Amino acid sequence: MSRYLVTGCAGFIGSQLIDRLLRRGDEVLGVDVFTDYYARERKDANLAEARTYPGFSFTELDLTDASLEPLVAETDGIFHLAAQPGVRGSWGDTFAVYVRDNVYATQRLLEAAAAANRRVVMASSSSVYGNAETYPTGEDVPPRPVSPYGVTKLACEALARSYFESFGLEVVSLRYFTVYGPRQRPDMAFSRIISALLNGTTFRLFGTGRQSRDFTYVDDGVEATLAAMAAGPGGRIYNVGGGSETTLERAIEICEHLAGRRLDVRREPSAVGDVRRTAADTSLLRSELGWTPRTSLDTGLTAQFAAAEAAERNLAVAGDDTGHLQGQEDGQEPDDGP
């Protein structure tokens, strides 16, 4: 049994990671700051299972100003999934938030981890590649992000490399490719598509719908994350992709079939910072850590649709509309969003 620190533990990937750790008998110290990017009620709900385990403890704190050394010292390893997500929101004045919550928070955590000699697995994003020159895209392809969000994630990777080379900190970075499944962030496309189908509302589609993404089911992403902690060499970067590259049009068709109705689509011009295509070459992760994705897009979307349908029923019974994201736009972003 090990004890792990998980930052961003109430988020989409983080909450499912801690559930997996607790089920196998590990102890988890979870931290989250509960930003207002989407409703806190959703994040609290994400922690419902974890709170039933005596091996789970939770601390609400901000990585940019909290004392991190005592937290790090209590654990055997760190999963760093906390971040400010979203491509479109990273432009303009809000870029300062991304610098603080992504770059500065990561630097402080790596500093504490290096002082305590604690191993780190860190979430990065396919957004670092931008519009890559080759597909599928391997880790050796030069990253060229086309959004400020992608720039901050690449900066975090550079920090990880610096701490590895300068202090010997064992840190592994994972470039997640559009993770989806139950608990997916409400601003991401599949969540919005399914919500629109369940509620009879309009989905705003940015671009032609022929833009494609390498979709990764959350359980597969969690297994890759665990494998990286167990055996990933320090300083390594891995792509985490589900091998389900699909156009947004095709994903909409699958969701329409699940709902038994047509989606009301309003087409908009392509959004600034969205890339045309993502496709992960995961051969390095497969060969070094023996990982392989196991969930097809049809199977994964079926699970996400069922979970969203159940959540909508619960909201209706409670008379609660806090689960709906305010002020965000529909479309397909390339980032994972922990």
CA-CA distance, 44 to 317, in Å (whole number)? 18
42-69 average pLDDT score? 97
Task: Please report the pLDDT score of residue 101 as a whole number.
Answer: 97
Task: Please report the pLDDT score of residue 324 as a whole number.
Answer: 39
Task: Please report the pLDDT score of residue 88 as a whole number.
Answer: 87
Band (pLDDT 50/70/90 cuts) for residue 3 is very high
124-141 average pLDDT score? 96
Mean pLDDT (the chain, rounded): 93
pTM over 0.85: yes
Closest CA to 228 of 69, 17, 9: 17
Task: Please report the pLDDT score of residue 327 as a whole number.
Answer: 31
Planar angle of CA 119, 56, 113, nearest 5 degrees? 20
Task: Please report the pLDDT score of residue 331 as a whole number.
Answer: 37
Band (pLDDT 50/70/90 cuts) for residue 314 is confident
Least confident of 166-170, 172-176, 286-290, 326-330: 326-330
Band (pLDDT 50/70/90 cuts) for residue 35 is confident
CA-CA distance, 230 to 291, in Å (whole number)? 12
Domains of the chain from N-terminus onward = 3-177+217-240 (3.40.50.720), 180-213+243-280+294-318 (3.90.25.10)
CA-CA distance, 231 to 146, in Å (whole number)? 32
3-state SS track over 128-156? HHCCCCCCCECCCCCCCCCCHHHHHHHHH
Percentage of the chain with pLDDT > 70?
93
Task: Please report the pLDDT score of residue 318 as a whole number.
Answer: 61
Task: Please report the pLDDT score of residue 37 as a whole number.
Answer: 85
pLDDT, tens digit (0-9, with 9 covering 90-100), for 181-238: 999 999 999 999 999 999 999 999 999 999 999 999 999 999 999 999 999 999 999 9
User: 10: exposed, middle or buried (C-beta count within 10 Å: 0-12, 13-18, 19+)?
Assistant: buried
CA-CA distance, 235 to 54, in Å (whole number)? 33
19-47 average pLDDT score? 95
pLDDT, tens digit (0-9, with 9 covering 90-100), for 77-126: 999 999 999 998 999 999 999 999 999 999 999 999 999 999 999 999 99
Task: Please report the pLDDT score of residue 337 as a whole number.
Answer: 47
Least confident of 88-92, 280-284, 289-293: 88-92
- Annotated active-site positions, please? 149
Task: Please report the pLDDT score of residue 36 as a whole number.
Answer: 85
Least confident of 58-62, 154-158, 207-211, 250-254: 207-211
Task: Please report the pLDDT score of residue 218 as a whole number.
Answer: 98
130-157 average pLDDT score? 96
